[in-house]
Structures are given as structure tokens and as C-alpha cells.
Chain A
Amino acid sequence: SQELEQSPQSLIVQEGKNLTINCTSSKTLYGLYWYKQKYGEGLIFLMMLQKGGEEKSHEKITAKLDEKKQQSSLHITASQPSHAGIYLCGADSTGNQFYFGTGTSLTVIP
């Protein structure tokens, strides 16, 4: 089965600081998705990456998929309290099942 490891598991940053979350796969990724979850709630789709080297941005969040397509990073610039939550990476397997990473809990201190 496909495994997605995220690091760090949790992150506490001061408002205004930049941060990076990593997602590493045990297999080649054919599609990598980033979601954000507010505590105890559903997930919000952020963005999807498919091609090696691809980079996408949405507001202050940028995600990249590395050339070898086994790792993705999510970078937040000038973090705000509204960025707080759990960030999950996800991928689909050849069996059309979605797998999710272990999650990274982000706290932003005002």
C-alpha cells in the first residue's frame, strides 16, 4: 500500500513567520493533493500537483512536487492565525483509493 509520511507532525509558529510542511511517499506519486482541516471538521481542498517539478500557489500557500515525484512540500509565507489547522497530503493509488498522510498540526501564535 502507498504510504505518505508528513513532517513535522506539529508546528507552532509566530504570526508572520514562514513555514514548510513536507510529504514523502514510499512510491512514485501520480497525483498529490493538499487539504486543510480545521480541528474536528471536514477537509478543504487546497491544490493538486501532478507533474514532477510542478509548483502551484494559492494566496500565501505554495506547493511543489519534486522532480522525482516522491516528495511534496507546502510552504506558507507570512503565516496568519487563519492558517492554523491540520494539513494533510493525499494521493491516489492505482486502485483508485485515496490515501492520506499522517497530518501536520499547525498553530499560529498571534
Chain B
Amino acid sequence: KAGVTQTPRYLIKTRGQQVTLSCSPISGHRSVSWYQQTPGQGLQFLFEYFSETQRNKGNFPGRFSGRQFSNSRSEMNVSTLELGDSALYLCASSLVVSSYEQYFGPGTRLTVT
């Protein structure tokens, strides 16, 4: 069974631009969670989607948004990028919502210049 895939793996953007990251969960998994990882703040929860609905949300500004499609693939979008948005963005999939048994993708490394 294929694992969680994320595209692109690396991305360089300029301040003020917007970016869309994609995550394809493990086949059969309906929950997708997104995390931001930085050296200073560590790993922080962004949001979780299940059956195309946002079920949980972390403490991030409204510039961070996401969506999930009927095939469970998910995208997250960050608008008006700031230097502090530079991070490794990880997505994780699980069978059910709010599951501890999450399977993580390799991440997308976003650099904002």
C-alpha cells in the first residue's frame, strides 16, 4: 500500500505570495491532518479534515486554510506569505478522525524569502 505523499517536496516563495500544498493520504484513510514544524516552535497542529469537513483547528491565523476533496486528498493554502511561514509542512492520514495512529508524509519544505 502506498504511503502518504506530499507535493511539492520543496518550494521557495516570496513574501506576499500565496502557496498551495497537496497531500494524498493512504488509500482508505479519510482523515488528513496538517502540521507545521519549525526549529523554534516545534511541531504544531494546523487543522484536520475528515469527509471533506474541517473537524479540528489549531491556533493559526486565517491566512492558513485547507480543504479536502471527495477522494480524501487534501490541500492547504497559505496566503500573503510571511518570512515566519518558512517551515516543514507535514500532513498525516488516519482511518478515523482524531486518531493517534497517524501516518505521516515526507513533508513539504517551504522557504519564504
State the A residues within 8 Å of B (CB): 31, 33, 40-45, 48, 88, 90, 92, 95-103
Are A45 and B58 in contact (CB-based, < 8 A)?
no
B15 at the interface (CB under 8 A from A): no
Are B106 and A99 in contact (CB-based, < 8 A)?
no
Are B106 and A42 in contact (CB-based, < 8 A)?
yes
- Bound-state CA distance A40–B37 (Å) is 10
Taking the closest CB of chain A, its distance from the CB of B28, in whole angstroms, is: 17
- Bound-state CA distance A100–B58 (Å) is 13
**Please, which residue of chain A has its CB at the minimum distance from the CB of B105?**
A42
Q: What are 17 inter-chain pairs, A to B, with CB distance below 8 A?
A: A40-B88, A40-B107, A41-B107, A43-B90, A44-B104, A45-B103, A48-B101, A88-B43, A92-B100, A95-B56, A96-B56, A96-B97, A97-B56, A98-B45, A100-B43, A100-B44, A103-B42
Q: Which A residues are CB-close (under 8 A) to B106?
A: 41-42
Q: Which A residues are CB-close (under 8 A) to B4?
A: 42
**Please, which residue of chain B has its CB at the minimum distance from the CB of A44?**
B104
Are A42 and B58 in contact (CB-based, < 8 A)?
no
Q: How large is the interface on B (under 10, 10 to 19, 20 to 34, 35 or more residues)?
A: 20 to 34
Are A100 and B42 in contact (CB-based, < 8 A)?
yes
Are A98 and B42 in contact (CB-based, < 8 A)?
no
**Please, which residue of chain A has its CB at the minimum distance from the CB of B42?**
A102
**Please, which residue of chain A has its CB at the minimum distance from the CB of B9?**
A40
Are B58 and A43 in contact (CB-based, < 8 A)?
no
B104 in complex: contacting residue of A43, A95, A103, CB < 8 Å: A43
Are B100 and A31 in contact (CB-based, < 8 A)?
yes
- Bound-state CA distance A77–B103 (Å) is 25
- Bound-state CA distance A100–B106 (Å) is 17
Are B104 and A99 in contact (CB-based, < 8 A)?
no
Q: What are the nearest 3 A-B pairs in CB distance?
A: A42-B104, A100-B43, A96-B98
- Bound-state CA distance A69–B15 (Å) is 44
Are B45 and A42 in contact (CB-based, < 8 A)?
no
